[in-house]
Amino acid sequence: MAFDYSSDYDARMRFVVQAALEEDIGSGDVTACIFDDDTVHLSLMIAREWGVLSGSHAVAYVFKSLCPSATVHMMKEDGETFAPGDLLIEVEAPITALLAGERTALNFIQRLSGVATLTRKFVEELGSDSRIGVYDTRKTTPMMRSLQKMAVVHGGGYNHRFGLYDMAMIKNNHIDSLGGIAAVCESLRSHGFFEKGLDLCIEARNLQEAIQALYANADIIMLDNMPISMIRSTVAILEEQIKAKVLKRPQIEVSGNVNLENISLYKDLPIDRISIGMLTHSAPSVDISMRLV
């Protein structure tokens, strides 16, 4: 069962934007005293390199928070690509509001567009005909998870679980602490997990754990840090077991050490998804500037 966090995305975005503005402006913009009036100006957000847009709604809320009468015109939609020189957003507001919100707005759009852009690069490396999905992880900036995961979607990727509450994910520490996958699943059963209707993902470090995950009825088997040759042979054995025992076929996920240089090596593997932490923890910001007219 996929968790739909988009229903409260707007509330999360507004909370984060308000916190960011309070952090930056504090008791007030002490430089703004140089302006004698609040004449309405036009500001332009312009791309200085290629990228995929994300974070435009955060930008709009920045300026609407500072000036409810501000007018924001989106020249591009989130998920669209842009080229150097493209006009992305126009904002009409008093100059004090524009300057007070400039850095916060740019921080959001540059970083979120960076996540969307990096995600798009991974998706394109797999190819338009690939059936393998590119997924994010929980390796996000604190308090920015909702926005970053939406940026992954804007880039053409998919969301893994949002948090610890919408999917059970049995990892090596769980397995080692309780003495095996079967023991962990039994404990989950005794605590009523399987009555919640949530998905179960089990991390497998080797063939033995992958087979145990299959018989534990995992919805997703994550093959963690496996060499490509081992992934191929492991999936082949799992498919044999599924066919022979008439078992439910889980989604097969690969995770660990996947980057833009080697992801093309995975495109022909019999897998369903690749989870990549760097989509959110290492995406470089896109160069976008704001110019007052």
pLDDT over 70 (residue 54): yes
Number of domains forming the structure of the chain: 2
Does 25 share its domain with 149?
A: no
Does 141 share its domain with 263?
A: yes
Does 163 share its domain with 18?
A: no
Residue type, 40: V
Does 131 share its domain with 270?
A: yes
In 5-132, which ranges are E strands? Answer: 40-47, 51-52, 71-74, 81-82, 87-94
Neighbours of 36 (CB within 10 A): 6
Does 217 share its domain with 187?
A: yes
Is 96 part of a structural domain of the chain?
Answer: yes
How do residues 86-100 score in pLDDT, each as one tens digit? 999 999 999 999 999
Instruction: Please say whether the beta carbons of 253 and 135 come within 8 A.
Output: yes
Would you state the pLDDT for residue 38? 84
Is 273 part of a structural domain of the chain?
Answer: yes
Residue type, 77: E
How do residues 125-165 score in pLDDT, each as one tens digit? 999 889 999 999 999 999 999 999 999 999 999 999 999 99
Q: How far apart are CA 109 and CA 148, in angstroms?
A: 11
Pull the structure tokens for residue 288: 């976008």
Is 189 part of a structural domain of the chain?
Answer: yes
Is 121 part of a structural domain of the chain?
Answer: no
Does 241 share its domain with 277?
A: yes
Is 1 part of a structural domain of the chain?
Answer: no
Residues 233-258, mean pLDDT to the nearest whole number: 97
Domain with 250, as residue range(s), is 126-281
Q: What is the CATH number of the domain that holds 145?
A: 3.20.20.70
Would you state the pLDDT for residue 47? 98
- Assessment of whether the complete model's pTM goes beyond 0.75: yes
Q: What is the CATH number of the domain that holds 95?
A: 3.90.1170.20
Does 258 share its domain with 144?
A: yes
